[in-house]
Homo-oligomer: A and B are copies of this chain.
Amino acid sequence: MAGEFELIRAIRSRIGTRSTRIVAASGDDAAVIRADGVIVASVDAFVEGVHFRLVTTSMRDLGHKCLAASLSDLAAMGAEAGEAFLTLGAPAALGERELLELVDGAEALAAELDVTICGGDITRSNELFVAVAVVGHAGGEEELVGRGGARAGDAVGVTGSLGGAGAGLALLERKEHGLPVELGERLIERQRRPVPRLAAGRALARAGARSMIDVSDGIASDCERLAEESGVEIEVALERLPLEEGVDAVAQLIGVPPADLAATAGEDYELLFTVAPEAQAEIEAAVAEAGPGITWIGVVREGAGVRLVDARGAPRSLQGWDHLRARPAPGHDRSRRA
């Protein structure tokens, strides 16, 4: 395999600069980016065996997914995505070709979303990891939406559909599933190549969403984050969750209720948000223009924590993904450990 500097040169030659904001990209000690107003920055790491397995993902899809998941945090703030930085920990067994495929996957998504990969780092490691830092922009903080603004009485909405990524993962983990081929492939694509809801995030922010988070760990967990930061209780009706087509069938295949799969598997990278009831119509119109539909799935109350209720109004206890613990099986029903 080539040395560090040769590989960095090869990576730099494949990456485009897409914004007049970029004064200097990769090649210096640091990237230089024009900014006025506020920047929005977030970091995420993805580790082989924890976030992905090389037997079920291609390097290209991995590059796409790591960048998509990271940019999703900017979408959840209502920011304009700007720049990304990719850090690779690369086992010796991976050749230059594989690493460049990973970069190509990220770069193709960056090109689609008008994002510039402006720097990174590469190092030897025993297990493959990808650390991504992303920077977004806004004119001022008043244009952004945090997790802390939910108020009692708010309606709880979610963009697009849920459970697709979790169903896709379940399919990837078994050889035979009996689903129509195209449907199975669509679910697997949803798992492998999520698309951050950047336009919808900006539209939601402009139209007055009061709090927002992206659905990365499953809405059971993600609602908990919103509730905690806002100091409220969030109630979600499980039967109202907008299930991706095919989630029903996969849920049956693995023996869990479909809504449980949709609420806990995560990785859908939809946006979960709350709005004052009087703003619901405006929000619907704004998001419709940006692409995905929205579904109203619950309500914000005074109190604390998350209340997931089934069709009979009975509370359910479901848990999403904790990155320091084993991942629960999709739909696995258990209380949060202390």
Which residue numbers of A lie inside 8 Å of B, CB to CB? 1-5, 7, 23-24, 27-47, 49-51, 73-74, 76-77, 79, 83, 85-87, 89-90, 118-127, 129, 131, 133-136, 138, 141, 144, 146-148, 212-214, 229, 322-325, 336-337
Contact A30 B36 (CB under 8 A): no
User: Given A41-B85, A47-B89, A133-B41, A127 and B127 touching (CB < 8 A)?
Assistant: yes
Contact B36 A121 (CB under 8 A): no
Q: How far is the CA of A20 from the CA of B97 in the complex (A)?
A: 45
> In whole Å, how far is A257's beta carbon from the nearest beta carbon of chain B?
24
* Residues of chain B with a CB closer than 8 A to A33's CB: 38-41
Contact A324 B124 (CB under 8 A): yes
Q: Copy number of this protein in the oligomer?
A: 2
> In whole Å, how far is A78's beta carbon from the nearest beta carbon of chain B?
10
Q: How far is the CA of A135 from the CA of B148 in the complex (A)?
A: 25
Contact B337 A47 (CB under 8 A): no
Which residue from chain B places its CB closest to the CB of A130 in the assembled complex? B131
Question: Which of these, B24, B38, B46, B87, contacts A43 with CB under 8 Å?
Answer: B87
Question: Which of these, B30, B35, B147, contacts A42 with CB under 8 Å?
Answer: B30
Interface centre among A1, A31, A86, A133 (most CB of B within 10 A): A133
Top 5 A-B residue pairs of the complex, sorted by shortest distance between their CB atoms: A30-B42, A131-B131, A35-B35, A133-B133, A29-B76
Question: Which of these, B36, B50, B123, B138, contacts A37 with CB under 8 Å?
Answer: B36
Contact A131 B29 (CB under 8 A): no
* Residues of chain B with a CB closer than 8 A to A27's CB: 147-148, 229
Q: How far is the CA of A41 from the CA of B122 in the complex (A)?
A: 16
* Residues of chain B with a CB closer than 8 A to A86's CB: 43
* Residues of chain B with a CB closer than 8 A to A325's CB: 3-4
Q: How far is the CA of A127 from the CA of B126 in the complex (A)?
A: 7
* Residues of chain B with a CB closer than 8 A to A2's CB: 324
Question: Which of these, B30, B35, B121, B323, contacts A4 with CB under 8 Å?
Answer: B323
What are 22 sample pairs from A and B whose C-beta atoms fall under 8 A apart? A3-B324, A3-B325, A4-B323, A7-B324, A24-B141, A27-B148, A29-B76, A29-B146, A30-B136, A31-B42, A32-B77, A34-B38, A39-B39, A39-B135, A41-B133, A43-B87, A43-B120, A44-B121, A50-B123, A50-B125, A51-B123, A123-B323
